[in-house]
């Protein structure tokens, strides 16, 4: 497919990622601050992150905006038919960010929306598996690269479709990652979309800087930031929220994922201290002695913050919306393994109302008509 993965792939789509990038990112001075907003930004030379940078005066003059605007023109042209663009972020890995991205895409598509899901996790693409698309490939048409479709109104693009094997590693430095991200934004023919959901890797590094830079030329609705309740997660998510503030990326809201385990009593397995399964025996005893117990939910806080901090408080500290808490539910993971919509497959799940409430808020926060 010609992606120069260092895996000896043949030619095909011809990305030529080993070549120099003609992008706004290439215009970033080599001696710039780490959180440089880029010479093309309207806040270039004026943002807080520009303080102390040797290029601050030059950027503030606006001299670098013309060339950068021309370089981003292909992004503007390609995404002109996209109504809403949402990034899904988290400073921490393993918080269910890709799970959230995929299930959000499923949920929006179920509402009749035309949805595109772009996976820019170059080194760890999990979206193809979570949407049941493992083994699918990208095809090229006269209009560009064609997304792989889950349904007529749900298309997907990921480097996972481009690897010879799901076990192959992508061992790239930043410029190649940035090059592929730009190609995703300029070469994929999405058609008319109501929503483009962009699933990102954890952190605040190359992929995040690139996507924010490239999307400056269009009107991005904002980011959904995902965390789990424990402090080890929130410590990194605070960095992500800080990244959004410094880069001028609007945060639509914070989602607290895996907020306690909630399981119907009938789904629990009971074992004795030796590990022997006693589920059938215990269930029969409960049916005889306290049948109402079997209609209840068992809850436990799997992840807890020992510092006493909460995700809701973190959202308040950064002045962003708290969109709600979605409990940890085994059926959510099962749906992702099967590549199916969690809400459609498990409408009675304890997590379904909480997840649906988050989806509804996303729709309300992204009206088709400004001010609606």
What's the start-to-end Cα distance of the chain, in Å?
A: 44
The whole-number pLDDT of residue 69 equals 66
What's this model's pTM, rounded to 2 decimal places? 0.80
The whole-number pLDDT of residue 62 equals 64
The model's pLDDT over 68-113, given as tens digits with 9 standing for 90+, comes to 667 789 999 999 999 999 999 998 999 999 999 999 999 999 999 9
CA distance 146 to 141: 7
In terms of Cα–Cα distance, which of 23, 224, 17 is closest to 107? 224
299/157: higher pLDDT: 157
Confidence of residue 141 (pLDDT cuts 50, 70, 90): confident
The model's pLDDT over 10-41, given as tens digits with 9 standing for 90+, comes to 333 333 333 233 333 345 677 777 778 777 66
> C-alpha angle 18/24/30, rounded to 5°?
75
The model's pLDDT over 256-284, given as tens digits with 9 standing for 90+, comes to 999 988 888 988 999 999 999 999 999 99
In terms of Cα–Cα distance, which of 138, 131, 132, 257 is closest to 197? 131
**H-type helices in 230-278, by residue range?**
231-247
The three-state (H, E, C) secondary structure of 316-365, written as one string: HHCCCCEEEEEEECHHHHHHHHHCCCHHHHCCCCCCHHHHHHHHHHHHHH
Strands 297-300 and 251-264: antiparallel
Q: How far is CA 271 from CA 144, 179, 240, 266, in A?
A: 56, 53, 41, 14
Average pLDDT over residues 304-332: 90
Mean pLDDT of the chain: 87
Q: CB 141: neighbour CB atoms within 10 A?
A: 8
């Amino acid at each position: 497919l010609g992606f120069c993965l260092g895996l000896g792939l043949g030619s095909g789509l011809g990305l030529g990622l080993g070549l120099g990038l003609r992008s706004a990112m290439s215009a970033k001075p080599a001696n710039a601050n780490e959180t440089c907003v880029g010479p093309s930004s309207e806040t270039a030379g004026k943002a807080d992150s520009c303080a102390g940078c040797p290029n601050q005066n030059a950027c503030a003059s606006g001299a670098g905006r013309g060339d950068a605007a021309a370089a981003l023109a292909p992004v503007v042209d390609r995404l002109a038919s996209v109504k809403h663009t949402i990034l899904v972020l988290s400073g921490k890995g393993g918080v269910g960010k890709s799970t959230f991205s995929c299930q959000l895409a499923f949920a929006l598509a179920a509402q009749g929306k035309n949805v595109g899901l772009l996976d820019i996790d170059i080194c760890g693409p999990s979206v193809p598996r979570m949407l049941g698309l493992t083994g699918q490939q990208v095809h090229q048409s006269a209009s560009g690269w064609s997304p792989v479709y889950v349904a007529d109104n749900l298309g997907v693009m990921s480097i996972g479709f481009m690897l010879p094997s799901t076990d192959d590693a992508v061992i790239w430095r930043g410029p190649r990652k940035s090059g592929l991200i730009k190609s995703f934004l300029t070469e994929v023919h999405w058609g008319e979309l109501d929503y483009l959901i962009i699933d990102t890797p954890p952190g605040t590094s190359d992929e995040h800087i690139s996507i924010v830079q490239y999307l400056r030329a269009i009107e991005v609705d904002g980011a959904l930031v995902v965390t789990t309740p424990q402090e080890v997660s929130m410590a990194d998510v605070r960095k992500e929220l800080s990244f959004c503030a410094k880069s001028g990326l609007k945060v639509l809201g914070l989602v607290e994922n895996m907020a306690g385990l909630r399981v119907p009593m009938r789904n629990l397995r009971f074992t004795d201290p030796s590990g022997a399964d006693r589920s059938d025996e215990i269930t029969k005893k409960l049916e005889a002695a306290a049948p109402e117990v079997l209609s209840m939910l068992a809850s436990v806080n799997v992840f807890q913050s020992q510092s006493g901090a909460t995700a809701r408080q973190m959202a308040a500290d950064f002045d962003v919306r708290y969109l709600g808490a979605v409990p940890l539910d085994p059926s959510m993971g099962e749906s992702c393994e099967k590549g199916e919509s969690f809400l459609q497959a498990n409408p009675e799940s304890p997590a379904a109302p909480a997840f649906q409430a988050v989806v509804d808020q996303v729709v309300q926060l992204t009206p088709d008509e400004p001010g609606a």
